Amino acid sequence: MARQHGELVQWNDERGFGFIAGDDGERSFVHISDIGRIATRPRAGDRVSFTLGRGSDGRPAAKEVRIAGANPLNLEARRRGAPAPAAPGIGGRWVTAGFIVLLALVDWLVGRAPVWLPVVYLVLGLVSIAVYWFDKRAAEADRWRVSEKSLHLIDAIGGIAGGLLAQQLLRHKTSKQSFIVVTVLIAVAHVAVLASLGLGLWELR
């Protein structure tokens, strides 16, 4: 049977079940027993692949679910006492977010930009974190979601540092390739603009 793809939009960790929104628009029930053993627990927002089958009640349900980017659980290593894979540490998103804020501060300190520039990055960064958090909670509760275009817009107008931090901290929007590509392009554009400003290639009046 051909595998399908989608996103885990709701997950009840205590009861071990949730729902997957398939890329074809269909919604399927999923139980923890049908998810391949992984080192971390499933979370709403995870990208998944699965086959479509029937649950114990006869309704459509996702089977043989695989979570994209999840480390498989090495049971043999666990039996030998090897430590489980560690949680992700400081990654590229953290570094890039810090670098963007640092560039804005340096531009102001060297007199290439007014003081409001780093303030805008900090304020909009906090706004972006709040919006990502809201969208994450909405995904878990199966409520109205913030559109990806809105998330990208907030990042593009100055909230990119906060957006990158939120993605890393909340583990949200980190598996969908198209979303990642746009986020990278936004981050690169901000780094290029701030760096060229600091080098005096243009002026911000």
Query: Residue 31: which CATH number?
Result: 2.40.50.140
Q: What is the pLDDT at residue 14?
A: 75
Q: Is 140 in the same domain as 177? A: yes
User: Does residue 118 lie within any of the structural domains?
Assistant: yes
137 versus 162: the higher-pLDDT residue is: 162
Query: pLDDT per residue over 43-56, tens digit each?
Result: 888 899 999 888 87
CA-to-CA distance for 27 and 4, rounded, in angstroms? 12
Residue-level pLDDT at 174: 83
Same domain as 150, residue 115: yes
Adjacent-strand bridge partners of 67: 48
b/e 27-41 (16+ beta carbons within 10 angstroms → b): ebbbbeebbeebebe
Do residue 105 and residue 45 come from a single domain?
Answer: no
pTM score of the predicted model? 0.59
At 58, is the secondary structure helix, strand, or coil?
coil
Residue 87, in any domain of the structure: no
105 & 193 share domain: yes
Do 113 and 186 have their domain in common?
yes
Residue 80: inside a domain, yes or no?
A: no
pLDDT at 72: 61
Are 70 and 99 members of one domain? no
Q: Is residue 183 part of a domain?
A: yes
Q: DSSP code of 155?
A: I
What span, in angstroms and rounded, lies between the C-alpha atoms of 184 and 164? 9
Looking at the structure, tell me whether residues 41 and 108 fall in a common domain: no
Condensed to tens digits (0 to 9), the pLDDT of residues 113-159 reads 999 999 999 999 999 999 999 988 877 776 777 899 999 999 999 99
46, part of any domain? yes
What CA–CA distance (Å, rounded) separates 101 from 122? Answer: 7
Instruction: Give the span between the Cα atoms of 42 and 165, in whole angstroms.
Output: 20
Q: What is the DSSP letter of 156?
A: I
Residue 78 pLDDT grade (very low, low, confident, very high; cuts 50, 70, 90): very low
Same domain, 133 and 185: yes
Domain count, the chain: 2
- Return the residue matching tokens 């005096």: 200
Quick one: 145 and 62 in the same domain?
A: no
Structural domain for 173, as ranges: 92-198
User: Is residue 84 a part of any domain in this protein?
Assistant: no
Dihedral over Cα of 94, 96, 100, 102: its sign: positive
Determine, yes or no, domain membership for 119: yes
Q: Are residues 99 and 190 in the same domain?
A: yes
Q: Tell me how far apart the terminal alpha carbons of the chain are, to the nearest angstrom.
A: 61
Tens digits of residue pLDDT in 120-129: 999 999 999 9
Confidence of residue 42 (pLDDT cuts 50, 70, 90): confident
Please answer whether residues 60 and 137 qualify as being in contact, where contact means their C-beta atoms are separated by less than 8 angstroms: no
Which residue, of 50, 75, 100, is where some domain finishes? 75
Distance CA 152, CA 132 (A): 11
Round to whole Å and give the CA distance between 83 and 77. 8
Instruction: Assess if residue 35 is contained within a domain.
Output: yes
> 32 in helix, strand or coil?
helix
97 and 163 fall within a common domain:
yes
Question: Contact 151/135 with Cβ under 8 angstroms?
Answer: yes
186 lies in the same domain as 103: yes
Angle between helices 160-170 and 92-109 (to 10 degrees): 160
- Share the mean pLDDT of the chain: 85
Rounded CA-CA distance 33/107 in Å is 53
